[in-house]
Amino acid sequence: MEISLIGALITLQVTFTELFIASTVIASVGYKNGWRSAALGSVIGAVAVAILCFILGTAGSKIPMHILDWVSTVLLLGFGLWLFYEFWSAHKKGEGAASIDRGVEISGSGAGESATAVLRKNIAKPINWAGVSVAAWGMFAEGLEIAVVWLAIALKQGMATATLGVVIGLGIIGIVALLLGKAGIFEKIPPKYLDLMASIMLVIYGIYFLYSAITGTFNVI
């Protein structure tokens, strides 16, 4: 089966978008609870997605797409609303509390700590299981969307087309993350705003999948 450019572009776009959302969640967890908690949660979520992909690949077309739509709806809307609650709680406490939650004051640090020292201090934080759970939930919820679209494209246009888009999307998001990390963009944004960004995107996607689940009109092309 020939590779479809349109199909590859669809999986590329979905992969990039979903991983961007996941990255905002993971970055927020990293600043608030430490990067070890964020990394552990990400790995747990990724493993869960890998297991799910294996199950989906084995079951193939036997799994009704509308069931996956409902699962996606619950995960996305639930997670999005919870992150908005986190944002609103932090917002009411004020910027000072948000900076304390990060465990680092990027601007106005009287000690004048270097970025390397700040990073080491953040990595040294003990594992926070609440943070691990949030990171895992974020990675799994977004990974599920990629898996659903990948399966739909694979069934219609072949695994090669579906996989090509995912691989390219992973490459692009990796490059973007590297560039943003070097520029220190995420360090300049309070975690509560990362929560807000992620919650908005999650709710938008959740509404789309809710519409698809209700109407049974899930389409990827």
Residue 217: the pLDDT is 62
Task: Tokens 């970055």: give the residue.
Answer: 27
The mean per-residue pLDDT over the stretch 54-69 comes to: 70
Helix, strand, coil percentages (3-state) for the chain, rounded to 5, are: 85, 0, 15
Q: What are phi and psi for residue 192, nearest 5 degrees?
A: -65, -30
Question: Which residue bears the tokens 């695994």?
Answer: 159
Rounded Cα distance, 78 and 76, in Å: 6
Mean pLDDT, the chain, whole residue set: 76
pLDDT at 44: 93
Mean pLDDT of 46-59: 79
What is the average per-residue pLDDT within 50-73? 74
Q: Tell me, yes or no, if the pTM score tops 0.75.
A: no
* Stretch (H or E) spanning 129: helix 129-157
Tell how far CA 148 is from the center of its chain: 15
Measure the N-to-C terminal CA separation of the chain; round to a whole number of Å: 17
